[in-house]
Amino acid sequence: MSIPLALLLFGLCTPAFSQAVKNFEASEERLTYGWPAQWISHPTASAYDFGVFHFRKSFDLDTIPHQVLVNLSADNRYRLWINGAFVVAGPSRGDILHWRFETIDIAPFLRAGKNTIAAQVWNYGLDRPVFQISLRTAFLLQAEHPDFQYLNTGKDWLVIQNRSYKPLTGARERLNAYLVTGPRLEIDGKNHPWGWEQPDYDDSAWVNARNIRNAHPRGNGTEFTWELVPREIPLMYEEMEGLIQQRRDGATIPFLQNGLMIIPADTTIEILLDQTYLTNAYPYLQVSQGAGSSIKLEYAEAMFDDKGLKGNRNEIEGKTVQGYFDRFLPDGGRRRLFTTPWFRTWRYINMTITTTEKPLLIEKFYSKRTGYPFEEKAVFQCDQPQISDVWDVGWRTAELCAGETYYDCPYYEQLQYVGDTRIQALISLYVSGDDRLMRKAIRTYDDSRLANGLTMSRHPAYLGQIIPPYSLFWIHMVSDYWMHRSDDEFVKSMLPGIRTVLEWHQEQIDPETQLLGTTKFWNFVDWTDEWPWDPVRDEGGVPPTDGGSSILSLQLAYTLQAAIPLMEQFGEEHLADEYREWLSRLKAAIREHCWDEKRQLFADTPDKETYSQHANIMAILSNMVPAGEQAALLERSMQEEDLIQVTFYYRFYLMQALFQTGMGNRYLQALQPWFDMLDLGLTTFAEKPDPTRSDCHAWSASPNYDLLATVAGIRPDGPGFKEVLIQPYPGDLEQFTASMPHPDGTLEVAYRKENGKDHFTIKLPEGITGRFVYDGQEKALSGKETLEFEF
């Protein structure tokens, strides 16, 4: 008898995350003066090593107040309950000099009589994720209203160290991959203070917290600790995930009539669960009895065959799960609900259950997915179903790669890299219209700038990393934001950072060739096979630079091209002139040293031994050749087989070159690598073609931008998106309907081919003007009416 799906179909036993909980604006007082509340910690436990702690504050109320705003933060992180109900998690990621706090209203969770605020705070110490910057273990709560100052954290709060948690490390070595999302956990039910978050819990054995120091906002006080700044993005959602399916079991197990599963004593079974798609979620497992038993949950994006290959993600025969895992150890009590403080990423879960002398009752297994609360507002529908599948899978990829920051990938890193983030931010703007995470990312990179002027390539991260080309692409992020949003004050604040990034690159120019060549740090461009990992330099994805690099130099030229109008717009004409002269010299040097007249291509280096699509794509985007010659150059770079090929990341720039050269009708043909991933059963798009580490990588979601920006042809035609360019490339489609959010409303473009004619219907938000360009013709657009065009 197989294990029935009833095991896996239980409803939620605790309320889902309440969407009524929102982040409020911080008060002027919190942003100006020191706070009365203290940062608190455990009085004796290490403030720097691995530890999970619980804090409690109980109080009585005669009546329920209308509103009670409190400000919250912690190091590393916290989850907050009030009267046993989960309320909020945080803080939003930052660094020590920009440490976020949330402001929420707790009144809806209060009641007349006794109330209890309970917080779980954890510090993973040296095992913490690379994305987690830390000073020391601490928790903070500051009430706003004078009548509730007794809620402020201080010595009257109680605390206990939860000894049931043990870090499980070594997954990086087992997977032989760069895996830096922190430890998984063993949770021993014998040591867990069950019910600690409930108001009727007996906390008489807990100790008083230790005061560390008063909290203060950034720029206040004489010493740096946690320099507090308000959260600028919404709270993450937590909601019930869809039902999970059983794919395989390893034993015959008796069941109760109501579907609960009993694992007999001295038994080991394995159950393979399939979510059927990738998700980021908190797993919840409720059990009773089973003292001495062990439940291992091993999570994987895909299964592996005996050669270590993934193959078709839907196929499981002859494959095993190889991933990181948590282990839960029941104590024999009733209704023990195990979960993890931070989410896990999986499509497959291999559940291994081992009992000893006592049988174990499995009562519930469910999960709550989590992420940034993007709302899918854009639409792209057409007559080719596979393109709709690309849209859906791409959007899931983008959603799973967005939380308190953008992530490059949720399973392996959860780090915010500029190269990924630029693409993610454009997807966010086009599909959801939500620019808040993009703003935070731009500011976060600016916060990361070093004394040499460069930004970190990824941030927040406690392990620093510099990729100079990513500092350049950060400048493009600022330019993208400027083109899509009217927010001059914010954009202008980025100009000093743009200037220092370019100054560093100016210092790296070879005085003889005027090219960028070998420089310090990691000059990553793309994960091509021809640029493999170098164990001596401990880096990969770097093109040759002997004698100078056309690719690195062209990326600089591409960026100067974007920086010049920014400087002109904001009164820095002298810098615009300087950059214009520099760009002219740089382009002349690239052409002199790297143009191959015989092949009519740009070589990667002056010795002209290797050629890549990357160099020639960048030559087009930086207008190295006249507009009338760019299409032919792009055609050669796509047709000549000995050129190093772009992978998924750099295909984004290939698609921009298609649009720029008027070859956008080739875009749908260029989607074949995405169709191949769908054929392999991927439910998100991978880091690179198989064999790939990550099955979910943000930069591969670029079709969700290009279906709107290239196929539908919707792009800004001036700063702030006040003027719109509609230049569609329907390719071999018979019809499509596209709409996307705009700061002033909705942009709509519809196309159909009928009786050999191309028909377009276009509608802009009121007050917006633009141009419609198609088949060599140009028409004026305005938002006053729906416009019809026939060609």
**Identity at 627, one-letter amino acid code:** A
587's CB contacts (< 8 A; 6+ apart) are 557, 622, 624
Residue 334 DSSP symbol: S
Chain segment 212-269, per-residue pLDDT in tens: 999 999 999 889 999 999 999 999 999 999 989 888 765 555 544 456 889 999 999 9
Q: Rounded to the nearest 5°, which phi and psi values hold at 32?
A: -120, -40
How far is 114 from 71, CA to CA, in rounded Å? 21
Answer yes or no: are the C-beta atoms of 129 and 324 closer than 8 Å. Answer: no
Helix (H) or strand (E) holding 220: none
Exposed / middle / buried, residue 519 (Cβ in 10 Å: 0-12, 13-18, 19+): middle
**Identity at 116, one-letter amino acid code:** T
How far is 713 from 485, CA to CA, in rounded Å? 18
C-alpha to C-alpha distances, 721 to 474, 611, 718, nearest whole angstrom: 20, 37, 6
- How remote is the C-alpha of 311 from its chain's centroid? 26
**Identity at 272, one-letter amino acid code:** L
How far is 614 from 646, CA to CA, in rounded Å? 6
Q: What is the 3-state secondary structure (H, E, C) of 443-463?
A: HHHHHCCCCCCCCCCECCCCC
Q: Rounded to the nearest 5°, which phi and psi values hold at 737?
A: -125, 125
DSSP per-residue codes, 356-372: -SS-EEEEEEEEEEEE-
How far is 458 from 522, CA to CA, in rounded Å? 12
**Number of Cβ atoms within 10 Å of the Cβ of 311:** 17
pLDDT computed for residue 78 by the predictor: 98
| DSSP helix/strand/coil, 578 | helix
29's CB contacts (< 8 A; 6+ apart) are none
Pairing of strands 379-382, 601-602: unpaired
Chain segment 36-94, per-residue pLDDT in tens: 999 999 999 999 999 999 999 999 999 999 999 999 999 999 999 999 999 999 999 99
Whole-model pTM: value is 0.95
Task: Name 736's bridge partners.
Answer: 382, 751
Helix (H) or strand (E) holding 327: strand 325-329
Nearest-5° Cα angle at 355, 351 to 356: 155
C-alpha to C-alpha distances, 776 to 630, 632, 705, 727, 772, nearest whole angstrom: 16, 18, 24, 10, 10
635's CB contacts (< 8 A; 6+ apart) are 663
**Which residue numbers in the chain have pLDDT < 50?**
1-19, 255-257
pLDDT computed for residue 260 by the predictor: 84
Chain segment 22-31, per-residue pLDDT in tens: 999 999 999 9
Answer yes or no: are the C-beta atoms of 183 and 206 closer than 8 Å. Answer: no
Q: Rounded to the nearest 5°, which phi and psi values hold at 140?
A: -145, 130
DSSP per-residue codes, 13-36: SSPPPPTT--PPPPPHHHHHS--S
C-alpha to C-alpha distances, 89 to 79, 158, 366, 372, 671, nearest whole angstrom: 4, 20, 19, 12, 39
Find where tokens 């493999």 sit.
Answer: 532
pLDDT computed for residue 13 by the predictor: 37
Find where tokens 């509340």 sit.
Answer: 37
Nearest-5° Cα angle at 352, 347 to 358: 145
Q: Is 761 left (phi over 0), alpha (psi -120 to 50) or beta?
A: beta
How far is 670 from 647, CA to CA, in rounded Å? 12
How far is 414 from 429, CA to CA, in rounded Å? 21
Answer yes or no: are the C-beta atoms of 726 and 772 closer than 8 Å. Answer: yes
pLDDT computed for residue 14 by the predictor: 38
How far is 312 from 86, CA to CA, in rounded Å? 39
pLDDT computed for residue 5 by the predictor: 38
Reference 101, options 47, 62, 143; nearest CA is 143
Answer yes or no: are the C-beta atoms of 38 and 152 closer than 8 Å. Answer: yes
How far is 49 from 126, CA to CA, in rounded Å? 7
Answer yes or no: are the C-beta atoms of 754 and 760 closer than 8 Å. Answer: no
Q: What is the 3-state secondary structure (H, E, C) of 100-122?
A: EEEEEECHHHCCCEEEEEEEEEE
Find where tokens 């591969």 sit.
Answer: 700
